[in-house]
Amino acid sequence: MKHITLLYPEGLCNLSTIACIVGTVEIFATANNYWMRAGNKQQFRLVVAGTTPKEQFIHKLVALNPDTYIKDIPKTDLIIIPSAMPGEKTAARQEMFDWIRRQHKAGAEIATMCSGAFILAATGIMDGRNCSTHWSNADKFRSMYPAVHLYSDKLITDENGIYTNGGAYSFLNLVLYIIEKYYDRQTAIFCSKVFQIELDRDSQSAFVIFTGQKQHGDAMVQQAQAYIEKNIDEKISVEDLSSRFAVGRRNFDRRFIKATGNTPLEYAQRVKMESAKKALESTRKTINEVMYDVGYSDVKAFREVFRKITGLSPLAYKNKYNREAVSEH
């Protein structure tokens, strides 16, 4: 029988941590019961393992009683790290990082949920690998762990036994993904129906709220960002933008990418599409009106950029998020 360790990293938790742990335990129990009712032998044993023997209430609301502690687990086959931030380094946290490294070296697979990716990245295991985390943590993650290849649009990554998840309550999709891998497709379908979780979601793009990376010290880039955000209705060329700030085009591009993680063109597109998304969500404007408002005159080009950034067409996005638009049909 294989062993699954669901980490309970005391001192690093929030309510999302508890949700990840409780949800995972319940769905795995349902999968196991379904599997055994079909006449199969139990394949996995899941335990919730604490990192320190110290009970800690989260938001003065709830505390978990772990089944065991990581120091008492000599070997496990899968470690699941729930939503949690690594925090300042302490002896107890170093012990947790060392335990994760040892288990991985011994062959354990690892799955992270949401900000749990920060804990795994802190061990060095993620260096050079692909990773996802919650879109709101993307800038912070990139600055802390530049050696990790972050894909903040992806809902799930799967690379040689390392699984990561986009974030928040989409941990449910990661649980189904692992259940399909560890049991079978039919068991995952059963759990998706019982818990009413949509199967096979692969993107968090439609949920991203773009605010732009502003936590950098390049005053010229900050001015360029402000100009782009103030002139959403204009068709801005990078040549015009770089000359406006009296910087050569190549040097402008280099500084902009270093500061924001986006090229100037990508940044302008993201700012424009964020404005378009808000208009489609909350106004009665037509697709063409929204398109003109954000400086596009070519419907095909607007649709292509919108779909690239959100994963949906403008019409599909409007129908998904604008209740008034849906009621008009």
- Domains, the chain, ordered by start: 2-205 (3.40.50.880), 219-328 (1.10.10.60)
248-280 tens-digit pLDDT = 999 999 999 988 888 999 999 999 999 999 999
- 269 vs 324, higher pLDDT: 269
- 63 vs 228, higher pLDDT: 228
Dihedral angle of Cα 299, 302, 308, 314, to the nearest 10 degrees: -70
23-57 tens-digit pLDDT = 999 999 999 999 999 999 998 999 999 988 776 67
Sign of torsion, CA 84 90 130 317? positive
pTM comes to 0.72
Structure confidence at residue 325 (pLDDT): 60
pLDDT at 62 over 90: no
pLDDT at 326 over 60: no
Rounded CA-CA distance 310/278 in Å is 12
pLDDT at 327 over 80: no
- 216 vs 275, higher pLDDT: 275
Structure confidence at residue 30 (pLDDT): 97
Candidates 133, 122, 125; CA nearest to 157 is 133
Structure confidence at residue 112 (pLDDT): 97
Q: Which of 8-17, 117-126, 206-215, 247-256 has the lowest mean pLDDT?
A: 206-215
DSSP code, position 171: H
Confidence of residue 236 (pLDDT cuts 50, 70, 90): confident
Average pLDDT for the chain: 90
Token pair in block for residue 305: 């950029």
- Under 8 Å CB-to-CB from 158, ≥6 apart: which residues? 177
The conformational region for residue 224 under phi > 0 = left, psi -120 to 50 = alpha, else beta, is alpha
